[in-house]
Chains A and B, each alone.
Chain A
Amino acid sequence: MKNRLKELIESLIFVSSEPLTLEKIKGVLEEFSETEIEQAIQDLLESYTSNERGIQITLSAGGYLFSTRPEFDAYIRRLLQTEKRSRLSRAALETLSAIAYNQPITLAEISAIRGVDSTHTLKVLLQKKLVKIVGRKKSPGKPLIYRTTDRFLTHFGLNNIKDLPSQEEISKIMEEETPVEE
């Protein structure tokens, strides 16, 4: 099995219901050394980077995951007979940004940052499971506090919360004159 470790890991990722973490792979493949496994994953990822494949393996929310290549979106939608998938509203994106960069955060704090009451938007984000309740703040009224979820990471193709746009990227956008979309 040793010489087929790469394929073996590929099959594990294929059947996984959620992004498959390195720890989990190591846990399952206990008879292999960590370096062997890491090397095999490296080889596997490389074999997918060539443009000869319609699918790719991406690192998402801390684990490996199969996904199609973005350029084939239109044809896949034709097959599945679905419309272009709808994007989040500006209000939702703004609220998520406020949460992502200030978490854990309360509803009142979110609303203060945005200057707009965010009750409804937060409700939508909770329903979409992009944010979750993580407890209550030990302050008057014990307000609920919120964090972003792993699904949030997957939704934006991030591996880790640290992969959020950096201060430099933000400053660059701000200098370019804040985009006035649509």
Chain B
Amino acid sequence: MDVRQSYQVNLEFFQGPLDLLLFLIKKQKIDIHDIPIATITKEYLEYLHQKDRINLDREAEFLLMAALLIYIKSQMLLPEEKPELEEDPRQRLVDRLLDFQKIKALSFLLGEKEEEELKKWKRIYIPSTHPDEEEELEDISLFDLAEAFFLLMKRKEKEDVHLIRGKEYTVEEKMREIISLLEDKGYLDFFEYFYNHTSLQESFVSFFALLELIKARIVLAVQETLFQSIKVWLQKKPRTSFIR
């Protein structure tokens, strides 16, 4: 279906309010730098009226844009006090639209590249990130981990601790951060990682995140020798597979 010809395009089709606005501008062959706000607002609202099936979150984003359009129109109607100092009320919206237009063009080009790339099959062997000298390493128990943690906490206690409320770390977020770090560096030095923490709270959350990851068998924690730092690795089984 050629959407440019049919007027009845479902709101679901658009990625967001900017997308819809851009579509309307194109359709009306309007100069993006000189948007007739009244016309475009009317058109825009007509689309919103056929909102039968969009969900509330999306609707809010579309409504926000409608409010912005009406606000801009009202700004333009007001007599200007210092005309030479005021920028065109539409300017910020135009900038956003242009930026978005660029991103849209880009994602179109990336999509083309992707399509071509998906036709190529790559032979990629995903190796074990686990070190070869595995046998010499001791698999550590939860107890060892906890002990190491308390050791670290002791050291941290000596530092000046100032409590700042309101800074929230979530375990889920920390888990993702740890995984990201592991993917980047291959392994993580448990001690080193904790030194970089700024607060007690962050250390606690990280520790819980680490435990969760071990429990879910996403990472593996090993200690080279007793009392040494504990190293954390991503747990992956060696396998040959095709990836994109």
Interface residues, chain A, CB within 8 Å of chain B?
14-18, 58, 65-71, 73, 76, 80, 84-85, 87-88, 90-91, 93-94, 96-98, 100-101, 112-117, 126, 129, 132-134, 142, 144, 149, 154-158, 164-165, 169-170, 173-174, 177-181
> Once bound together, how far apart are the Cα atoms of A132 and B120, in whole Å?
24
**B192 part of interface (Cβ distance < 8 Å):** no
Contact assessment for A66 and B101 in the assembled complex, using a CB-CB cutoff below 8 Å: no
Q: Is the interface of B mostly helix, strand, loop or mixed?
A: helix
Contact B57 A117 (CB under 8 A): yes
User: Which 8 pairs show the lowest CB-CB distances between chains A and B?
Assistant: A116-B16, A70-B119, A115-B18, A73-B119, A93-B107, A97-B106, A173-B105, A157-B117
Contact pick for A114, options B15, B120, B176, B180, CB 8 Å: B15
What's the minimum C-beta distance from B27 to chain A, rounded to whole angstroms?
9
Docked-complex contact A90 and B107, CB < 8 angstroms: yes
| Chain B, 70-102, CB within 8 A of any chain A CB | 96, 99-102
Specify which chain B residues have a CB less than 8 angstroms from the CB of A100 in the assembled complex: 106, 110
- Assess A170 versus B102: contact at CB under 8 Å? Given A70-B120, A155-B117, A157-B120: yes
The answer, yes or no, to whether B3 is at the interface (CB within 8 Å) is: yes
User: What are 8 A-B interface contacts by the 8 Å CB criterion?
Assistant: A66-B122, A70-B120, A93-B107, A113-B96, A114-B18, A115-B65, A157-B120, A174-B105
In contact, B107 and A69 (Cβ under 8 angstroms): no
Contact B103 A114 (CB under 8 A): yes
- Closest residue of chain A to B184, judged by CB? A132
Is B224 interfacial (CB 8 A cutoff)? no
Contact A66 B123 (CB under 8 A): yes
Q: How far is the CB of B226 from chain A (nearest CB, A)?
A: 33
CB-CB under 8 A from A96, the residues of chain B are 107, 110
Among A15, A84, A117, A173, residue most surrounded by chain B Cβ atoms (within 10 Å): A173
| B26 at the A interface (CB under 8 A) | yes
Q: Return the CB mask of B177-190 against A: 1 if under 8 Å, else 0.
A: 10010011000000
Min distance, Cβ B210 to any Cβ of chain A, angstroms: 16
- Beyond A93-B107, A93-B110, A113-B99, whether A180 also contacts B3 by CB under 8 A is yes
Contact residues in A for B121 (Cβ distance below 8 Å) = 67-68, 73, 76
Q: How far is the CA of A76 from the CA of B244 in the complex (A)?
A: 14
5 A-B pairs besides A88-B111, A113-B100 with CB distance below 8 A are A73-B119, A93-B107, A115-B96, A157-B116, A157-B120
Contact A156 B117 (CB under 8 A): yes
Q: Smallest Cβ distance from A95 to chain B, in angstroms?
A: 8
Q: Is the CB of B22 within 8 A of A178?
A: yes
Residues in B whose Cβ lies below 8 Å from that of A69: 120
Q: Which residues of B contact A94 (CB under 8 A)?
A: 15, 103-104, 107
| 9-residue interface stretch from B41-49, B124-132, B152-160 | B124-132
